[in-house]
Amino acid sequence: MRIESELKRKKIGVLMGGMSSEREVSLRTGETVYQTLVDRGYNATKVFVDRDVDLVLRQAGIEVAFLALRGRFGEDGCIQGLLEILGIPYTGSGVIASALSMNKVKAKELFRLHNLPTPPYYVLGRPALDDLVTEHGSFGFPVVVKPVCEGSSIGVAIARNHEELRQAVENAFLFDDAVMVERHIRGVEVQVAVLDGQAIGGIEVSSKGGMLDYQAKTMLGRTTCHFPARLSPPRYHGVLVQAQKAHQVLGCKGLTLVDMIVSDLGNEYLLELNTLPSITATSLVPKIAHGAGLDFGDLIETVLGSACLKARGDQTYQERDPYQHGFQRDDEQLAPGAFTAN
Ligand SMILES: Nc1ncnc2c1ncn2[C@@H]1O[C@H](COP(=O)(O)OP(=O)(O)O)[C@@H](O)[C@H]1O
Ligand SMILES: [Mg+2]
């Protein structure tokens, strides 16, 4: 394949680590992706992301970025914006789609706008802690409390009464300034992988504790999976269609993993969409891909093949200029660190 051979000549940076609470998951995905790319003959290098990521990216001289990051700064549009500015094509969704998907409330607003089913919810700011009972009003129980912009079930808890609600909300505020309270849906949890705009399959997941908590999501043996999800053919088809639409309305690219619940009454609900799902030997996406006929290496190569710049087409510039230009005279170069006032 022409694209593949072109990519084999490029220096590919696997961006991993990052500054979010999901750093560990990111490092595992990054190691796996790096090893797979090397085994398949790519010129891959590991790029550990921290606050100095801009310097590291300039020095590493990578031509394509494979994003193995998670959570804040990595999955929310920040690193995507930096890569756009540096002109380095990257895997996954662009700035806006990443930011919208990371914010569970904004994502739900878009689902509702496009008539996609999602559980009822309301949002709290810190002042709400003064009178949570009034804020909650007649919303009812049980509910699921989540920080608006986290992942991997960090800060997520079920509350069955006002006391548990207060505890869960206070805990969620440790992770974010906005907290969402969502109606708890009893049913089967299904996660659907969407690759290049096509839903490739849905896997049913459950954990011993009921909710898929951080431990269940990140540790082997805590979750039970069934692929494909044990739903009737029309219901399974419905779940794939809704997930594909969710990917579309948020404007996502490359690979995404859509969290859904099919209620005991048979209704489908969208919970959220992950723009950079983990890809390790034990994670869900490779299992779904395998069911769709893609082995692990094929999956990684397909994701890599979709890397591009979203804001300005695929026009990379190879020459990076370490000097800052003045605003008035383009030809004037300032010493590093200096800047002009106008
Ligand atoms: N409304 C809900 N009803 C039932 N379970 C839920 C609901 N929302 C979340 N959960 C459970 O909590 C887990 C984490 O919630 P999710 O919204 O996917 O956030 P995260 O970004 O942390 O994965 C889900 O995988 C599911 O097991
Ligand atoms: Mg989730």
In this structure, the residues whose C-beta lies within 6 A of any atom of ligand 1 are 119, 144, 146, 150-153, 156, 182-185, 189, 211-212, 259, 261, 271-272
Minimum mean pLDDT range among 30-34, 177-181, 304-308, 332-336: 332-336
Alpha helices in the chain (DSSP H): 2-8, 23-39, 53-60, 78-86, 95-102, 104-113, 132-136, 162-172, 214-218, 233-249, 284-291, 296-305
CA 151 to chain centre: 8
Q: Which atom of ligand 1 is nearest to the CA of 184?
A: 3
The pLDDT of residue 251: 97
CA distances, 13 to each of 33, 57, 91, 230, 275 (Å): 10, 9, 11, 38, 18
Nearest CA to ligand 1 atom 1: 184
- Output the CA 28–ligand 1 centroid distance in Å: 22
SS3 253: coil
- Output the CA 286–ligand 2 centroid distance in Å: 17
Tokens for 1, please give them: 């394949």
Tokens for 180, please give them: 């969402």
Q: What angle do CA 180, 183, 185 make, to 5 degrees?
A: 130
pLDDT digits (tens, 9 = 90+) for 62-119: 999 999 999 889 999 999 999 999 999 999 999 999 999 999 999 999 999 999 999 9
Task: Please tell me which residue, 98 or 336, carries the higher pLDDT value.
Answer: 98
Best of 153, 160, 257 for a ligand 1 pocket test (most atoms within 8 Å of beta carbon) = 153
CA atoms within 13 A on the CB side of 89: 21
- Output the CA 191–ligand 2 centroid distance in Å: 9
Helix %, strand %, coil % of the chain (to 5) = 35, 25, 40
The pLDDT of residue 152: 73
The pLDDT of residue 340: 45
Give the predicted TM-score (pTM) of the model.
0.89
- Output the CA 331–ligand 2 centroid distance in Å: 50
The pLDDT of residue 244: 98
d(CA 152, CA 249): 23
Which residues have C-beta within 8 Å of that of residue 231, sequence separation ≥ 6? 188, 190, 202, 204, 239, 262
pLDDT digits (tens, 9 = 90+) for 6-17: 899 999 999 999
- Output the CA 271–ligand 1 centroid distance in Å: 6
- What domains are there in the chain, each with its CATH number? 2-92+308-319 (3.40.50.20), 120-183 (3.30.1490.20), 186-296 (3.30.470.20)
Answer whether residue 144 shows pLDDT above 90.
yes
pLDDT digits (tens, 9 = 90+) for 281-334: 889 999 999 999 999 999 999 999 999 988 765 555 555 555 555 555 555 555
β-pair partners for 121 = 182
Quote the percentage of the chain above a pLDDT of 70.
Answer: 85
